[in-house]
Chain A
Amino acid sequence: MGMTKVVALYSDKVMDHFTNPRNVGEIPDADGIGKVGNPQCGDVMWLYIKVDNNIITDIKFKTFGCGAAIATSSMITEIAKGKTLEEAKKISRGDVADALDGLPPVKMHCSNLAADALLEAIKDYETKHKT
């Protein structure tokens, strides 16, 4: 149980987004939903988007996971809101980690799922709005 080690490695920004996560919740009439992760691994992220005129007008998340998983979810909602779908698709895992002033190396792989969740949500939107 190496708790203190991990806590010490979290930036103030990670702790801020963990403590006061932005845009928590669901969007009942979402235009796209992205679900990534697996409860067995300890991180699951659901991301909901509203799209209007190719722009992400609203975005909310629900996350089961560690501090880093919650902070990256919260951060990506701030980055993606107001962006076009093309711009949003370009947001990478590294962008999210950078915006949080970095993540502990051990968290880069398992808890940095937000960019993947956003891509899935956009894919869901595009599948539903093909015609």
Chain B
Amino acid sequence: MSANPVRRIYFDHGATTPMLPEVVEAMRPYFTERCGNASSIHSFGREAKRALEEARRNVARLINADPSDIVFTSSGTESDNLAIKGTALFEGRSAGHIITSRMEHHAVLESCANLKAAGFEVSELPITNDGFVRPEDVEEAIRKDTVLISVMMANSEIGTVQPVREIGKIAQAEGIPFHTDAVQAVGKIRVDVKKDNVDLLSLSSHKFHGPKGVGALYVKSGTRIGPILHGGGHERGLRSSTENIPGIVGLGKAAQIAARDMKDCADRMRDMRDRMIDSVLKTIPDSHLNGHPVNRLAGNAHFRFDFIEGEGLVLGLDTLGVAASTGSACSTGSLAPSHVLLAMGLRHEQAHGSLRVTLGRENTHEEVSYFLDVLPGVVSKLREISPFSNEHPNGDDEGGSSVQ
């Protein structure tokens, strides 16, 4: 492993994506000469307001929503908080039942935990071994006092695309608001809030080549929801704060480009992804794919390598210039590995050996080839260091003194 990589390859698009030059260009004037506050009535203000509404239309078009149903926020996390707390706590409610799943992002799980501490009850639905929430489990969990159902559209780690349409139908039939955290899905797969029977949908700009620090919540008109930020009443009263015009313009541009290029990009990424999965599973012994083989985001490959630990993998790849990520505990600073992998039924030691590769539109087959060239060496080097192997899966037969 060379300490000075000659090249850098970015395979961590699930974490964040590079901004497209067109997005940067679209934003630029709104930092300086078009500095208006969208609430001002002078020409600067009107200019900002026009940009705000154009961005709203572009975001709405990407998910087949009405523009008036888009609320701009600062992030996917804020959108999740607003959807969940804003619905649950609507008009002074202080108790009730919320249904979510064990594979949600922390923004959803922690929002629910916060409500639980305040007196709400939360059902976290289990996950199948290949990474799905089952609509029948949602149906069974519904109670008379259920105030919200929140199930993500695509999983952030293993990329599995959830049966949102079926869950939305169930929620609609019961008259329960349905929220989906679509942060990993929007811009990558076709999203249609009307067909998917969604009342609330979170999205984040930087996951599809827009700027960081801006997101949106789709709020179907008529949804019973209140703000969590109080102030001047911006964004239909749901999100007070002077609008982040440059960020919102960037999000709008990124949404426009995503709608235009989605199919081509997804087809290319799927090709690269499938080639990567085939090759890794074929050339590296004791390697596995986590999650469903086909029903996953086009750019997501999530591997597991027996006998080694994921942070070492990520570090080893990084020294060779490849940026990927892992669900291992060692990378998160907590003792437990990824809650998603554990919810899928993986044992702790299996979850530790995971590697997430998330491709983006700028990646090439040549980069995939380089990755496929270097990965086997990184894995075998770590296996040489590891006490575990097929002969010693847990290694406990050579005597010696041991403490745990």
Contact = CB atoms under 8 A, between A and B. Distances in A.
On whether the two chains bind one another, the answer is: yes
B235 to A, nearest CB: 30
B315 A42 contact: no
B379 interface: no
B330 A42 contact: yes
B385 A2 contact: no
B261 to A, nearest CB: 26
Contacts of B329: 41-42
B400 A66 contact: no
Interface residues of A, number: 48
Interface in B295-330: 307-309, 311-312, 314-316, 318-319, 323, 325-330
B1 interface: yes
Interface in A2-30: 2-4, 6-7, 10, 15-16, 18-19, 21, 24, 30
A34 B311 contact: no
Contacts of A43: 309, 330
A38 B385 CA distance: 16
B326 A3 contact: yes
A64 B309 contact: yes
Interface string A106-121: 1100110000100011
Contact of A39 (B3, B12, B349): B349
A111 to B, nearest CB: 7
Given A1-B332, A67-B315, A40 B349 contact: yes
Given A24-B384, A36-B404, A127-B401, A67 B311 contact: yes
B312 A33 contact: no
The prevalent SS among residues of A at the interface is mixed
Nearest to B331: A3
A111 B384 CA distance: 19
A2 B325 CA distance: 8
B333 A3 contact: no
Interface string B331-342: 111010110000
Given A42-B348, A46-B387, A66 B309 contact: yes
A18 B320 CA distance: 13
Contacts of B394: 39
A64 B404 contact: no
A70 B385 contact: yes
B385 A21 contact: yes
A110 B348 CA distance: 15
Interface string B219-258: 0000000000000000000000000000000000000000
Contacts of A44: 387-388, 395
Q: What range describes how many residues of B lie at the interface?
A: 35 or more
Given A2-B331, A24-B385, A42-B309, A34 B352 contact: no
Contacts of B21: none
Interface in A87-112: 106-107, 110-111
Given A39-B394, A121-B400, A124-B401, A6 B384 contact: no
Contacts of B315: 7, 10, 15, 18, 66-67
Nearest to A12: B3
A83 interface: no
Interface in B352-404: 352, 356, 384-388, 394-395, 398-404
A64 B401 CA distance: 17
Nearest to B389: A62
B290 to A, nearest CB: 14
Given A1-B331, A10-B315, A35-B400, 10 more contacts: A3-B331, A24-B384, A33-B400, A38-B404, A42-B329, A43-B309, A46-B387, A64-B388, A69-B309, A70-B385
Can you list the 9 inter-chain pairs with the closest CB atoms, starting with the nearest?
Answer: A33-B400, A66-B330, A35-B402, A66-B311, A124-B401, A62-B387, A39-B349, A40-B348, A106-B333
Interface of A: 1-4, 6-7, 10, 15-16, 18-19, 21, 24, 30, 32-46, 62-70, 106-107, 110-111, 116, 120-121, 123-124, 127
13 contacts: A1-B332, A2-B331, A2-B332, A6-B330, A35-B400, A42-B335, A42-B337, A44-B395, A65-B309, A65-B330, A66-B330, A69-B330, A124-B399
